[in-house]
Amino acid sequence: MVWSAYKVHVCVIVAKIFYCGGSFGRLGVLRAVMPLSDLKPLMFEENLGYVGHLFPEENQKSSAQTVIEIVPGEEDESWNAGFYVIEKAPVPFEDSLRKLCKSASRSV
């Protein structure tokens, strides 16, 4: 948290969630931006792989994929800045994301 005479700024580390391939297109659609701390429980349940600092190429094994981006400066001790591909396709991941947000009383 950053304090000034007039405002309080809360610094939150966020992750971007993209749905790619299939009807989402090659470059993907930004689905959500949410605090990494809120997303961590869901990411620990998934099979994911770190693919580096470049947006991943379209996966030849499946028609759609879920990509998480952690931007430089927002990484922490357990997550590197860059892109992660989640094995779960967008529709099943969306179901998991909705359940997570519902249990935390947040809207998606």
- Structure confidence by residue, pLDDT tens digits, 66-84: 999 998 887 778 888 999 9
Query: CA 8, CA 2: separation in Å to the nearest integer?
Result: 6
Assess if residue 10 is contained within a domain: no
pLDDT of residue 26: 67
pLDDT of residue 51: 93
Domain span at residue 69 reads 15-103
pLDDT of residue 55: 87
Assess if residue 7 is contained within a domain: no
Assess if residue 3 is contained within a domain: no
Do residues 65 and 92 lie in contact, with contact meaning Cβ atoms separated by under 8 Å?
A: no
Amino acid identity at 75: E
- How many domains does the chain fold into? 1
pTM given for the model: 0.76
Assess if residue 108 is contained within a domain: no
Q: What is the pLDDT of residues 1-50, one digit of tens each?
A: 445 455 554 556 788 999 888 776 667 888 888 888 888 888 777 888 99
As a whole number, mean pLDDT of residues 50-78 equals: 82
Assess if residue 56 is contained within a domain: yes
Query: Which residue has better confidence, 37 or 53?
Result: 53
Assess if residue 94 is contained within a domain: yes
If we measure between CA atoms, which residue out of 15, 14, 85, 79 comes closest to residue 46? 85
Question: What letter would DSSP give residue 106?
Answer: -
Query: CA 38, CA 40: separation in Å to the nearest integer?
Result: 6
